[in-house]
Amino acid sequence: MNIYLMVSVLGLVPVCVALAMLYRRLATRPEVDFASEGLPVLAPGKYRPMERLLQEEDFRFLAAQRGYTPSLGRRLRTERRRIFRGYLRNLSRDFGKLSAACQMLMVHSAEDRPELAASLMKQRVFFGLGMLAVEGRLLLHAVGVGTVDVRDLVASLETMQSQIQILLAPPQAASAAI
């Protein structure tokens, strides 16, 4: 009986750690001075290259070339993961800036928009869960299992930017856009 209890407790430890990390990420808000920086605006294709960074086609192409060595393949995978993590940090930072801008615009808006507040909270939760999933897939990719898909995270970022556009629109136009 004690062994089952210990195994179940050990199984819950990673889940608790993941939930604590998610809570920490969602609870911290970046300090952004929009008065001096202005509202963040992102280029739509800024994160599109990261969608291809860890796809298997490039690694298979490299393996088919003359002079290929397994150490060269490992080095390329490691370097691509490093670049991918840099993109991921920037993506997270940009999402935080957009989220803070959206929240600031909602607070200072002349009209209450509870549907946008609910959507903002939902986007934050989905983004945090998506980041955890991507980190897990990166760990699996490091041991040679699978690939990493970030399209949902990029879509969350684009949704957040569209919400800012809705908040910047006049109230009549904003209600028509929803």
Q: Is residue 110 part of a domain?
A: yes
Alpha carbons within 13 A on the beta-carbon side of 68: 13
Q: Is residue 132 part of a domain?
A: yes
Report the domain count for the chain: 1
Is a pLDDT exceeding 50 seen at residue 36?
Answer: no
Q: What is the pLDDT of residue 174?
A: 47
Residue 150 and residue 51 in contact, taking contact as beta carbons nearer than 8 Å: yes
Residue 96 and residue 82 in contact, taking contact as beta carbons nearer than 8 Å: no
Q: Is residue 121 part of a domain?
A: yes
The residue to which tokens 């940009």 are assigned: 94
Q: Is residue 61 part of a domain?
A: yes
The arithmetic mean of pLDDT across residues 78-82, rounded, is: 92
Residue 101 DSSP label? H
Residues 90-99 have pLDDT tens digits of 999 998 888 8
Residue 121: domain span: 50-177
Q: Which is nearest to 101 in space by CA: 148, 147, 38, 45?
A: 38
The Cα 158–Cα 123 span in angstroms is 11
- Residue 32: exposure state from Cβ atoms within 10 A (0-12, 13-18, ≥19): middle
Residue 54 has a CB neighbour count (10 Å cut-off) of: 21
Q: Is residue 171 part of a domain?
A: yes
Q: Is residue 38 part of a domain?
A: no
Q: Is residue 5 part of a domain?
A: no
The Cα 80–Cα 82 span in angstroms is 5
- Give the pTM: 0.70
Choose the most confident range, by mean pLDDT, from 53-57, 106-110, 125-129.
125-129
Q: Is residue 43 part of a domain?
A: no
The Cα 149–Cα 133 span in angstroms is 10
